[in-house]
Chains A and B, each alone.
Chain A
Amino acid sequence: MIFTFPACSGANANKTRQAMGKLDWMVNVNLFDNETASFWKGPGMDPKQIKTEVFFLPCAASVEKEGSITNSGRWMQWRYKASDPPGDCKPDGDIMVELFEHIQKLYKRYDGVFDTPIRNLRWDYVKDSKFDPHAVAKLINGYFEKDTTIQDKTYKKGTLVPAFAMLQADGTTSSGNWLFCNSYTDKGNMAARRGKKDPTGLGLFPEWAWCWPVNRRIIYNRASVNAAGKPLSPNKNILEWKDGKWVGDVPDGPWPPLDQKDKGRLPFIMKTDGVASIFGPGLVDGPFPEHYEPLECPVEKNQMSSQRINPVAPIYGTAADTYTTCDPRYPFVCSTYRVTEHWQTGVMTRWQPWLLETQPQMFVEMSEELAQLLEIKNGDPCIVSSPRGQVEAAAIVTKRLRPFIIQGTTIHQVGIPWCYGWVHPKNGGDSANLLTPSTGDPNTRIPESKAFMVNVVKKGGK
C-alpha cells in the first residue's frame, strides 16, 4: 500500500477494512499514521482476531525528494528537493532500493523460484544503496549498450539514446520505457528545462519540461489540419505544412499531408484504421448518452426507458455488497463530496492544524425541510447509515439543499464529505466511504459515490 489509502478512499470501506484482516502481512508506506495502516485497531475490530502483520514505513513528502512527476497532460516535470524529510522518513526510491537489496541478498543465499532475474538484475544506477533519481531517469531514457551505427552516425557505448526511433530490438540499446526515450539525453535532463517561449501562442511551451513522446505536446496533432496541411481552425494553429515541412508542434509522424497521394498517412497512428473512435474493443458501455438510474435510487422506474440501471454496471455478489432501492429503511439520496480545506481522504490535511481548525469534523448537510421532518437542529450529532455501514456526523441545516419532487414524490437529499477518518482527529468522525456502494462507470470504474441511499437520524433518537 504505497501512497494508496483504501480504508478511506474506496467505496464500501468496511468491506475493504475487513478484507485487510485476511492478509498475512501488509506494508504501508505513508507520511502519517492512517486508517489503512492501523485498520486492525479501528472501530469494530478485535486485534486479537486479526493475524495480519503490518509494516509501516514512513516516507518523504513530494517536496522532500528529487525526481520527476508526469501529469495527465504527459508533461514530465523535474522537481528539486526543497528540504530533507524528517526523522527516519525516506523517499520511496530509497525504500524500494533497501527492500530490493535485502530481497536479492536472500535470493543469493537461498534457492528461490524464478530467481535468475532477481539475482542478476541490473543495479548499476544505485550507488552505496542510495537511490539516484538522475541515474534512474537516464536508464528510463535508455543507453547504447554497444557502439552502434545508425544511418551514418555512430553512437558510442554508454551514450544516451536521443529518441525512440533509434532503439534497437537486438540488445544493442536499453530503455526503461520507450515513451520516455528522448527525456534525458546528451543535451541534459529535458524534464528540468524551464524555457518560457510559446511560439504557437496556444500554451504548448515546448521548452518547458518535456512531454512524451519526443516532446510532442498534442498527440495525433496532424488531425488539426486539412488534407493540404493547413490548420482547420486558424485560431488554433498547432501545426502547419509550410514549404515542404511541418511547422509548430512536433508532428505525430514525418508523413506529408494527406493530399500527397500514397505518402500521406491518417493522423491517429496508434489506431489500426488511423481514425479517431469513441467506441471500440475493451469497452463494455456504449458511446451515446443514455440515462440510467444509479444502482441505488429512490424510484422504481426509469422514466426514460424500461431499463432502470445500467445493465453493464459492475455489481458484486458478496454479503458485504448489499444494495437498496425504494427501501423505506434508507429513504434519502446521499452524495459525497470534498471540501476546499482537505485533500481527498484528508490523510495529509487532517494533520495540518490550520486546515483542521477550519473543517474539524464530519458533517451531514440537509435541507431545512428535512431537518424539520427529522426534528434535527443545526449542529446536532446525527447517524447516517446505509446497508453497508454508518458514520456519525454533525448536522448542517442549509438552504443550499432543497427537496426534489421526483415522479410526484418529495425526495430528500443529504450531502457528506469524505475527508475524515477515525485515526486523526480523535473526534473527527470516519470516512463517508463506509456508506458508499462498490459500483461505478462500466468502462472506467469511476465510483458511483455521488448517488446512493441512506437513512439519517439524530444521535440517540429513533
Chain B
Amino acid sequence: MDGKSFLIDTTKCTACRGCQIACKEWNKLPAGETKQTGTFQNPPDLSASTYRLVRFQEYPSEKNYMVWYFFTEACRHCMSPPCKTEADKYVKDCITVDKNGGVQFNEKTKELGANAEKVKAGCPYNIPRLNEATKALVKCHMCYMRVDAGLLPACVKSCPTGALNFGERNDILKLAQTRLAEAKKKFGDKAELINPDEVRAIFLVADTPAKYCEFATY
C-alpha cells in the first residue's frame, strides 16, 4: 500500500483561493480580522485557524515583464515525518501516520507543553501551528474523514483548474511526471517537482522554489 498523495501544479493555479476557504469551511475554522497591507495574501500566515494559505509573490520577468507566483501552502505529509520523530521523544504517538500516509496530529499534542516549539521547529516546511486556546498543535490532516468516505479532500474538490490533484500515490507520481514535462515545455528547464520522493504533497513549480515561498523546500 503506497497510500495517497497530492500533486499541486502551481502552473495551473489562478489564486482563486477556493482551496483556502474550502479548508476553513470543512474544518469550521473561524475567520480572523485582517487588514489590507499591500498584498492579496490574506490572512498573512498559516495559523491555528488557517491550515491552508495561498501565498502571492511577484517578480520582474523578461518574457512578460512580470510574473505572479501562487503557492497554496499546507502540510506536505512527509513520507518520514520529522515532526513525528521529534514529538515521539516527548509524547509517544501524539503524531501518527494513518493508512493513507496522512500525518495526523491528535489531542495528545496538548501534552507536549513547551516541547511543542521543538516539534514545530522540526518541520522543515514551517507548517505546524499551536492553538493557543487548546494548546494542541494543528495543521492539514489530509481530510481523512472525507477520504475514508471516498471523497476528495475539501481543497482538491474546490479547485476549478486542475492545480490541486489527489489520489493513489502511484497515479499521482505518474501525473506529476506528465505535468512536469508539460511545464518544462511551456516554462523552461527551471520547472521542477519539489522533493517528490520525500513528501505526499508534491508541488510542481515553474521557477526556483524559494521564489514561491520561504519554506517551499529546505
Report the bound CA distance from A333 to B74 in whole Å.
39
> What are the residues of chain B within 8 A of A361 when measuring CB–CB?
35-36
How far, in Å, is A377 (CB) from chain B's closest CB? 8
Does B68 lie within 8 Å of A400, measured CB to CB? yes
Does A357 lie within 8 Å of B32, measured CB to CB? yes
> What are the residues of chain B within 8 A of A397 when measuring CB–CB?
38
Q: A394-B37, A396-B36 are in contact. Are A357 and B17 (CB under 8 A)?
A: no
Q: CB of A340 within 8 A of chain B?
A: yes
Stretch from A81-89, A246-254, A277-285, A348-356 contacting the other chain: A348-356
Report the bound CA distance from A360 to B34 in whole Å.
6
Report the bound CA distance from A378 to B38 in whole Å.
5
Q: CB of A363 within 8 A of chain B?
A: yes
In the complex, chain B residues 1-41 whose Cβ is within 8 Å of any chain A Cβ: 15-17, 20-21, 24-25, 30-40
Q: CB of A409 within 8 A of chain B?
A: no
Does B58 lie within 8 Å of A353, measured CB to CB? no
Report the bound CA distance from A357 to B35 in whole Å.
8
How far, in Å, is B43 (CB) from chain A's closest CB? 6
Q: A353-B30, A353-B31, A399-B66 are in contact. Are A360 and B58 (CB under 8 A)?
A: no
CB < 8 Å: which of A354, A380, A396 contacts B39?
Answer: A396
Q: CB of B65 within 8 A of chain A?
A: yes
How far, in Å, is B158 (CB) from chain A's closest CB? 12
How far, in Å, is B53 (CB) from chain A's closest CB? 10
Report the bound CA distance from A65 to B156 in whole Å.
30
Q: A340-B16, A353-B31, A402-B65 are in contact. Are A358 and B42 (CB under 8 A)?
A: yes
Report the bound CA distance from A427 to B33 in whole Å.
11
> What are the residues of chain A within 8 A of B33 when measuring CB–CB?
357, 360
Does B36 lie within 8 Å of A358, measured CB to CB? no
How far, in Å, is A146 (CB) from chain B's closest CB? 54
Give B87-129 as 1s and 0s: 1 = Cβ < 8 Å from A's Cβ atoms: 0000000000000000000000000000000000000000000
Q: Most chain-B Cβ atoms within 10 A of its Cβ — which of A340, A397, A427?
A: A340
Report the bound CA distance from A353 to B66 in whole Å.
32
Q: CB of B60 within 8 A of chain A?
A: yes
Determine the interface band of chain B, counting residues with CB < 8 A from chain A. Answer: 20 to 34
Q: CB of A455 within 8 A of chain B?
A: no
How far, in Å, is A352 (CB) from chain B's closest CB? 8
Does B38 lie within 8 Å of A395, measured CB to CB? yes
Does B30 lie within 8 Å of A399, measured CB to CB? no
Report the bound CA distance from A361 to B34 in whole Å.
9
Give A355-389 as 1s and 0s: 1 = Cβ < 8 Å from B's Cβ atoms: 11111111100000000000001111000000000
CB < 8 Å: which of B32, B37, B42, B65 contacts A399?
Answer: B65
Report the bound CA distance from A395 to B35 in whole Å.
12
Does B38 lie within 8 Å of A340, measured CB to CB? no
- Closest chain B residue to A393, Cβ basis: B36
How far, in Å, is A353 (CB) from chain B's closest CB? 4
Report the bound CA distance from A17 to B124 in whole Å.
54
Does A354 lie within 8 Å of B60, measured CB to CB? no
Report the bound CA distance from A362 to B36 in whole Å.
8
> What are the residues of chain B within 8 A of A357 when measuring CB–CB?
31-34, 42-43
- Closest chain A residue to B20, Cβ basis: A358
How far, in Å, is B50 (CB) from chain A's closest CB? 9
Report the bound CA distance from A353 to B20 in whole Å.
13
Report the bound CA distance from A359 to B59 in whole Å.
22
Give A265-306 as 1s and 0s: 1 = Cβ < 8 Å from B's Cβ atoms: 000000000000000000000000000000000000000000
- Closest chain A residue to B49, Cβ basis: A357
> What are the residues of chain A within 8 A of B60 when measuring CB–CB?
399
Report the bound CA distance from A209 to B60 in whole Å.
49
Does A363 lie within 8 Å of B36, measured CB to CB? yes
CB < 8 Å: which of B31, B36, B38 contacts A354?
Answer: B31
Report the bound CA distance from A356 to B35 in whole Å.
10
How far, in Å, is A53 (CB) from chain B's closest CB? 35
Does A400 lie within 8 Å of B36, measured CB to CB? no
- Closest chain A residue to B16, Cβ basis: A340
Report the bound CA distance from A161 to B20 in whole Å.
51
Q: CB of A321 within 8 A of chain B?
A: no
Q: CB of A70 within 8 A of chain B?
A: no
Q: CB of A168 within 8 A of chain B?
A: no
How far, in Å, is A87 (CB) from chain B's closest CB? 22
Known interface pairs A358-B20, A360-B34, A361-B36; 12 further A-B residue pairs with C-beta atoms within 8 A, sorted by A's residue number: A340-B15, A340-B17, A353-B31, A354-B24, A354-B25, A356-B34, A357-B31, A378-B38, A378-B39, A398-B58, A399-B58, A399-B66
| Sampled A-B contacts (20; CB under 8 Å) | A340-B17, A341-B17, A354-B24, A357-B32, A357-B33, A358-B17, A359-B40, A360-B35, A360-B42, A361-B36, A379-B37, A380-B38, A394-B36, A394-B37, A395-B38, A396-B38, A396-B39, A398-B58, A400-B66, A400-B68
Ranked nearest first, the 3 interchain pairs of A and B with the lowest CB-CB distance are A378-B38, A379-B38, A353-B31
